[in-house]
Amino acid sequence: MHSLFMALVLGALTSALAQNLSAIRWVDCAQNVPIPLQGTNFTVPLPSTLHCGQLDVPMDYAKPLSESNNITLGFTMFRPNNSQGLINFNPGGPGQEVASYSWEIALNLDRASWFAGLEGYDILAIDTRGYWSSNALNCSQGNWMISSSLPASEAELTAFQTPVRAFAQSCIDLSTPPGIVQFVSTNEVIQDWDQVRAALGYDVMHHFGISYGTYYGAKYAHAFPEHVGRFVLDAVFPPNVSNVDLLSKQYAALDRSLTRSDVYCLNDTTCPFHSQGKGAVLEAFQNVMDLAGSGSPATSGVSAADVRFFAGINYIAGDPNFPLFNTALFEALQGNWSLFNYTTAGPIFTGAAGSLATTYCLDYHVDDNTFEGYANILKVGAESDPLGAQFLFFLILHLLCTAWPYHAASNPAVPVNASMVLVTADFDYTTPTELATFEWMQQANNSVLVVRHGDDHGTYNVPGPARDAFINFLATGTLPAPVNETFVTVYEPGSVRAPVPDPYSVPVGVEAGDMDE
Ligand SMILES: *[C@@H]1O[C@H](CO)[C@@H](O)[C@H](O)[C@H]1NC(C)=O
Ligand SMILES: *[C@@H]1O[C@H](CO)[C@@H](O)[C@H](O)[C@H]1NC(C)=O
Ligand SMILES: *[C@@H]1O[C@H](CO)[C@@H](O)[C@H](O)[C@H]1NC(C)=O
Ligand SMILES: *[C@@H]1O[C@H](CO)[C@@H](O)[C@H](O)[C@H]1NC(C)=O
Ligand SMILES: *[C@@H]1O[C@H](CO)[C@@H](O)[C@H](O)[C@H]1NC(C)=O
Ligand SMILES: *[C@@H]1O[C@H](CO)[C@@H](O)[C@H](O)[C@H]1NC(C)=O
Ligand SMILES: *[C@@H]1O[C@H](CO)[C@@H](O)[C@H](O)[C@H]1NC(C)=O
Ligand SMILES: *[C@@H]1O[C@H](CO)[C@@H](O)[C@H](O)[C@H]1NC(C)=O
Ligand SMILES: *[C@@H]1O[C@H](CO)[C@@H](O)[C@H](O)[C@H]1NC(C)=O
Ligand SMILES: *[C@@H]1O[C@H](CO)[C@@H](O)[C@H](O)[C@H]1NC(C)=O
Ligand SMILES: *[C@@H]1O[C@H](CO)[C@@H](O)[C@H](O)[C@H]1NC(C)=O
Ligand SMILES: *[C@@H]1O[C@H](CO)[C@@H](O)[C@H](O)[C@H]1NC(C)=O
C-alpha cells in the first residue's frame, strides 16, 4: 500500500517535471577540465568524441525548478559516431569524481581500458550532485581528526560525535544554495540521472555502476523501470540491510581478506614470511598488534589501534596491497614502525570519510542510535572477526551517521524486476560478497549473478572471464551463460550460490585480481 502510494506520487512528479525540463548547455571541454586532469598536457584540439555539458535541475524535486530551487549538474560524454545507445557510468564513492572518465576514454588514458569493448556507445559520466562539478558542497574539516581508537564508552562516543556535528554544521553554513545539504541523497541523484537521460533524448539508459554506483543503479531501476536497459552492478552494495548485518558481514570479509594476505605470501618468494609456511602472516599480525598494545617505547608511539586502522583501511580496503601489508608487518617486527604511522594518514582519512558522509548518511538508516545500539554492533561483529581486526570501514561511516543531522527514515527493500548482471568477488572486503547474494536473492531475482573467484573491490579492472561476461552483456544485451570455472562462476536466476570458498582454496596472482594496478 505504502510503496504503491509512493510510486504514484513519483510518477506524477516525473511527468510534471518532464514538461519543465531544462535544456542541456553544451560547453567547451577545454574550458571545463575535470579537476583530476587539470595540469595534464592535452593535445589540442580535443577529440571530437569528447563532449561536456551542464543541466540545471531542481535542488529539491518536490518543488518546481526555479531561480531559487536550482543547481547545475556537470557531466561529460564520450560520443562515437553512430552511437548504439547510452551507457551511464558511475564509479561509486559516494561522491567519487566521474566527469574525467569520458576524457580517459576519448584520450585513451589509463582508465580507458575499463571501457574496452564499449566504444560503440555514448558513455555518460555525471558528477554526482554535491561533489566536483555538480554543485560541490563546501565544508570545513578544521582540525577535526578521527581517532584510530574506536569509542569504547558512552563518553568516548560523544567525543567522537562532537566534531562530526561541527563538520556537518560547516557544510550547512558554507554550502550554496541554502538548504542543499539535505538534498544530496540517492533519491535526488537518480532523478538527476533521469533528467539528463531525458534531456539527451534517450528512452532507455544502460548503466555501468561500481560499488556505490550499484546502490544508485538499483534505486534507479526500481524508480524508473520503463527506462532501464542493460544494468551492470559491479561490487554490489544493496539497500535493505540492517546495520548489524552490514557490519557483521564486513567483519567476516575483512578477516577473509587478511587471510588472503597469508595465501599471497605462500606464493610470493619475496614475502618476508614466505619460508615460514601457512599462517605466518596472521601470526605476525597478532604479534604486531600485541607489541603495539604493550606500550613499549620500541613501537615509536604506534598503538594497536593504529595497526588495526592500517589493516582495515590502508592495506586491505579497495584493491588490497598484500605485499606492502606483509612488508609493513615484517618491518614493524624489526623495529621500523613507519608503515603504521597514523599521524600522517589520519587527517587524509578524516577528510575522505567526511566527504562520503554527506550522501551516505542521508541514505543510511541508523537502526538504533543509542550507545547500546553501537555496543551491540561491536559485540555481534566480534563474532565474525576472530582475528580481532576491529577497525572497519563501514563502522566509521556508521559512527559518522550517528552524529549526522539528517538520516533516511527507513531502509526499505528495492525490488527490481529487470534482468540485470550483478558482479561480486569472493574476497572483496569493501562490499562483502554476501551482500551481492542478498540483493540477488531478495530484490533482483531475475538477474544473473557473476561471482569472480579472487580479490579486489570490483571487477571492472580485472581482465578475465568475469569482466568479459558483463562487458559482453553491456555491448550486446546477451546475459552471461552459466559456467563454473577456476576464476568465475555464473549463476542463473533461481539457482543457488555455493558457499564462499576457503581463502586458501582459490589461487592468488594477476588472474585473481592481485597487484593489477
Ligand atoms: C605540451 O606538449 C607540447 C607538445 O607535446 C609541448 O610542445 C609543450 O611544451 C607542452 N607544454 C607543457 C606545459 O608541458
Ligand atoms: C511547469 O511550468 C508550468 C508553466 O510555466 C508551471 O505552471 C508549473 O508549475 C511547472 N511545473 C513544475 C513541476 O515545475
Ligand atoms: C538556475 O540558476 C542559474 C544561475 O543562478 C540561472 O542562470 C538559471 O536561469 C536558473 N535556471 C532556472 C531554470 O531557473
Ligand atoms: C565522425 O563523423 C564526422 C563527420 O562525418 C567525421 O568528421 C569524424 O571523423 C567521425 N569521427 C570518427 C571518430 O569516426
Ligand atoms: C567555501 O567556504 C569558505 C569559507 O570557509 C569560503 O572562503 C569559500 O569561498 C567557499 N567556497 C565556495 C565555493 O563557496
Ligand atoms: C623504515 O621503513 C620505511 C618504509 O619501508 C623506509 O622508507 C625507511 O627507510 C625505514 N627506516 C629505516 C631506518 O630503516
Ligand atoms: C610519523 O610521522 C611523524 C610526522 O610525519 C613523525 O614525526 C614520526 O616520527 C613518525 N612516526 C613513525 C613511527 O614513523
Ligand atoms: C527491508 O524491507 C522491508 C520491506 O520494505 C522492511 O519491512 C524491512 O524493515 C527492511 N529491513 C531493514 C533492515 O530495514
Ligand atoms: C518482469 O521480468 C520478467 C522477465 O524479465 C518479464 O517477463 C515480466 O514482464 C516483468 N514484469 C514486469 C511487471 O515488468
Ligand atoms: C563449481 O565447481 C567446484 C569445483 O569443481 C564445485 O565445488 C562447486 O560446487 C561448483 N559450483 C557449482 C555452482 O556448480
Ligand atoms: C522472484 O520472486 C518473485 C516474487 O517472490 C517470484 O514470483 C519469482 O518466481 C521469482 N523469480 C525467480 C526467477 O526466482
Ligand atoms: C604464484 O605466483 C606466480 C608469480 O608471481 C604467478 O605467476 C602465479 O600465478 C601464482 N600462482 C598461483 C597459484 O597463484
Q: What pLDDT is recorded for position 484?
A: 98
Residue ID of nearest Cα to ligand 2 atom 4: 20
CA–centroid distance, 505 to ligand 10, in Å, is 12
Q: What digits encode the pLDDT tens for the residues 307-348? A: 999 999 999 999 999 999 999 999 999 999 999 999 999 999
Residue ID of nearest Cα to ligand 3 atom 13: 66
At 188 the three-state DSSP class reads helix
Q: What is the pTM of this model?
A: 0.93
Confidence bin at 516 (pLDDT 50/70/90): low
Q: What are 242's strand-pairing partners?
A: none
Q: Centre a 10 Å sphere on the Cβ of residue 335 and count the other Cβ atoms it contains.
A: 10
Separation between Cα atoms, residue 370 and residue 198, nearest integer Å? 44
What average pLDDT score do residues 442-456 get? 98
Which atom of ligand 7 lies closest to the CA of 338?
14
What average pLDDT score do residues 199-208 get? 98
Percent of the chain with pLDDT over 90: 94
E strand or H helix that includes residue 25: strand 25-27
Q: What digits encode the pLDDT tens for the residues 461-491? A: 999 999 999 999 999 999 999 999 999 999 9
* Strands 228-234 and 71-78, sheet pairing: unpaired
Whether residue 226 is predicted with pLDDT greater than 60 in this model: the reply is yes
- Is 494's C-beta closer than 6 angstroms to any atom of ligand 11? yes
Residue ID of nearest Cα to ligand 6 atom 11: 336
Closest CA to 461 of 208, 135, 230, 253: 208
Residue ID of nearest Cα to ligand 10 atom 3: 484
**Strand arrangement, sheet containing 25-27:** 25-27, 50-57, 71-78, 122-126, 86-90, 205-210, 228-234, 421-427, 448-455, 488-491
Q: What pLDDT is recorded for position 8?
A: 39
Residue ID of nearest Cα to ligand 9 atom 9: 417
Substitution site in 3, 446, 447 for ligand 9 pocket (most atoms within 8 Å of beta carbon): 446
Q: What digits encode the pLDDT tens for the residues 110-169? A: 999 999 999 999 999 999 999 999 999 999 999 999 999 999 999 999 999 999 999 999
- Is 507's C-beta closer than 6 angstroms to any atom of ligand 12? yes
Give the N- to C-terminal CA distance of the chain in Å, as an integer: 48
Q: What pLDDT is recorded for position 12?
A: 41
Q: What digits encode the pLDDT tens for the residues 388-403? A: 999 999 999 999 999 9
Separation between Cα atoms, residue 303 and residue 173, nearest integer Å? 36
Ligand lying closest to the C-alpha of residue 170: 5
Separation between Cα atoms, residue 389 and residue 255, nearest integer Å? 7
Question: Which residues sit with their C-beta closer than 6 Å to ligand 4?
Answer: 48-49, 81
Confidence bin at 20 (pLDDT 50/70/90): low
Whether residue 196 is predicted with pLDDT greater than 90 in this model: the reply is yes
CA–centroid distance, 51 to ligand 5, in Å, is 29
Q: Where are the domains of the chain?
A: 2-137+180-203, 244-403
Separation between Cα atoms, residue 318 and residue 257, nearest integer Å? 11
Which atom of ligand 12 lies closest to the CA of 268?
2
Whether residue 449 is predicted with pLDDT greater than 90 in this model: the reply is yes
Which atom of ligand 11 lies closest to the CA of 446?
13
Residue ID of nearest Cα to ligand 8 atom 7: 412
User: CA dihedral in degrees (97, 401, 234, 207; nearest 10)?
Assistant: -60
Separation between Cα atoms, residue 450 and residue 193, nearest integer Å? 26
Looking up cell 536550482, which residue turns up? 70
Confidence bin at 10 (pLDDT 50/70/90): very low
Q: Centre a 10 Å sphere on the Cβ of residue 176 and count the other Cβ atoms it contains.
A: 11
Which atom of ligand 8 lies closest to the CA of 413?
2
Contact between 360 and 216 (Cβ < 8 Å): no
Which atom of ligand 4 lies closest to the CA of 81?
1
Q: What pLDDT is recorded for position 43?
A: 83
Closest CA to 244 of 398, 126, 391: 398
Substitution site in 6, 248, 410, 439 for ligand 8 pocket (most atoms within 8 Å of beta carbon): 410
CA–centroid distance, 64 to ligand 2, in Å, is 6
CA–centroid distance, 274 to ligand 5, in Å, is 52
Q: What digits encode the pLDDT tens for the residues 402-423? A: 999 999 999 999 999 999 999 9
Residue ID of nearest Cα to ligand 11 atom 4: 445
For 294-447, where are the alpha helices, taking DSSP H only?
A: 304-309, 322-333, 342-363, 371-382, 393-403, 433-442
Going by C-beta distance under 8 Å and a sequence separation of 6 or more, which residues neighbour residue 202? 85, 86
Mean pLDDT of the chain: 95
Q: What pLDDT is recorded for position 291?
A: 98
Q: What digits encode the pLDDT tens for the residues 252-287? A: 999 999 999 999 999 999 999 999 999 999 999 999
Percent of the chain with pLDDT over 70: 96
Going by C-beta distance under 8 Å and a sequence separation of 6 or more, which residues neighbour residue 277? 266
- Is 335's C-beta closer than 6 angstroms to any atom of ligand 6? no
Question: Which residues sit with their C-beta closer than 6 Å to ligand 10?
Answer: 484, 489, 498
- Is 413's C-beta closer than 6 angstroms to any atom of ligand 8? yes
Closest CA to 359 of 183, 158, 220, 159: 183
Looking up cell 587471510, which residue turns up? 259
Looking up cell 509512493, which residue turns up? 6
Ligand lying closest to the C-alpha of residue 59: 3
Q: What are 448's strand-pairing partners?
A: 421
Residue ID of nearest Cα to ligand 12 atom 1: 267
Whether residue 58 is predicted with pLDDT greater than 50 in this model: the reply is yes
- Is 28's C-beta closer than 6 angstroms to any atom of ligand 3? no
Whether residue 14 is predicted with pLDDT greater than 90 in this model: the reply is no
Whether residue 505 is predicted with pLDDT greater than 90 in this model: the reply is yes
CA–centroid distance, 46 to ligand 1, in Å, is 14
CA–centroid distance, 75 to ligand 3, in Å, is 17
CA–centroid distance, 45 to ligand 1, in Å, is 13
